[in-house]
Amino acid sequence: MCLQPRNTIPLFSSGPSSTPSPLLVLTCFAAPVRPAMLILTCPSKLQLLEGVLRRCLPETLPIYGAILHINRGNPAQSEVVVDSWPEFKAIITRPKKEVVKDKWDYYANFYAAFYRDADSCRALLENNDVVDWSAALQIQGLQDGLYEIVKEIAEASHVQLEPYFYRPVMHPDPSTLRQSRLTNDLLRFGALNPSHASFLNEVWDFGGNHRSRRYLESLIRLFPSACLVDKEDQVVSWSLTDPVSCLSHGYTLRQYRGQGCSGIVLQRLGGKLHSLGFPLYAGVLAENQPSLQTLKKQGFHILPGTYYMLTVKPNLALKN
């Protein structure tokens, strides 16, 4: 039985006007009303949503990956906002408000979005109870309209938008991933731990700061990963996953490239994800041909369209 969770926003305000609350929490016993925005918390509804999004793959990949994490322990403490239920037209996943303590941290303030109706998505994103546009954040999705909507809102809000455009790739059947043998006897599989984050942060193109290091620590601590280490137990090749279960941060030290390390790490991580019921997908910059070729050799297919990572940063002149 699904019970009303504690400390949720009531369906209607307790004031004399009985005006509907602008952001509602939908539980299994929610009243039969159709407000503009709902937070889904009921496990049965979240399971139903997972099935709906699965049938819409691959277009729903980022939001589907986020829902999978939420339904499997919710390690990142994310939540789901929809415009209506059960016939939703737009859906967003975001971190719970208590999770992001640094409003300038766009790494941790991680959103994913999917819509069936662009106007509904715009209305959801424009609502300040859903997205705080005075904070730094990132939004990911696979729909062209999402980029246009975020671009318009960023301009109207006078915040800086930095869009990144990736080629989406997905493995059609991770169970067929071949397991290659290591050819370098000095390397073996290891396990990443948060202490490795500083080293990974040094070689990450989008890293190099304390917020990116903190973000990498959280990815290592919360989500599946894989790596190879040398005889000194130093990591030489690795791949992580993120809050939308996307392969990310794949890297091999220069002196170990050309030995198949990244493919072997990918096979190990792909096996983990498949065993947990996650899809195997990634976004790769078009100019990163080595990564694209490695993924294609492992059986990944390049999907049509663009994987959008939309980074929003407030005017730094307003920063305290």
Beta pairing, strands 301-302 & 188-190: unpaired
pLDDT score for 11 = 28
Fold match between domain 24-162+309-318 and domain 174-278: yes
| Token representation of residue 296 | 């294609």
CATH 3.40.630 at 24-162+309-318, yes or no: yes
Kindly provide the b/e burial profile for residues 69-92, where b requires at least 16 CB atoms within 10 angstroms of the residue's own CB. Answer: bbeeeeebebbbbbbbbeebbbbb
pLDDT score for 230 = 96
CATH 3.40.220.10 at 174-278, yes or no: no
Tens-binned pLDDT, residue by residue, of the chain (320 aa): 333 333 333 322 334 333 444 555 555 544 333 347 899 999 999 999 999 999 999 999 999 999 999 999 999 999 999 999 999 999 999 999 898 889 999 999 999 999 999 999 999 999 999 999 999 999 999 999 999 999 999 999 999 999 999 999 999 999 898 788 888 889 999 999 999 999 999 999 889 999 999 999 999 999 999 999 999 999 999 999 999 999 999 999 999 998 999 999 999 999 999 999 999 999 999 899 989 998 999 999 999 999 999 999 987 544 44
Query: Using CA atoms, how far apart are residues 99 and 138, in angstroms rounded to an integer?
Result: 15
**Domain positions in the chain:** 24-162+309-318, 174-278
| Token representation of residue 113 | 């979005």
pLDDT score for 148 = 97
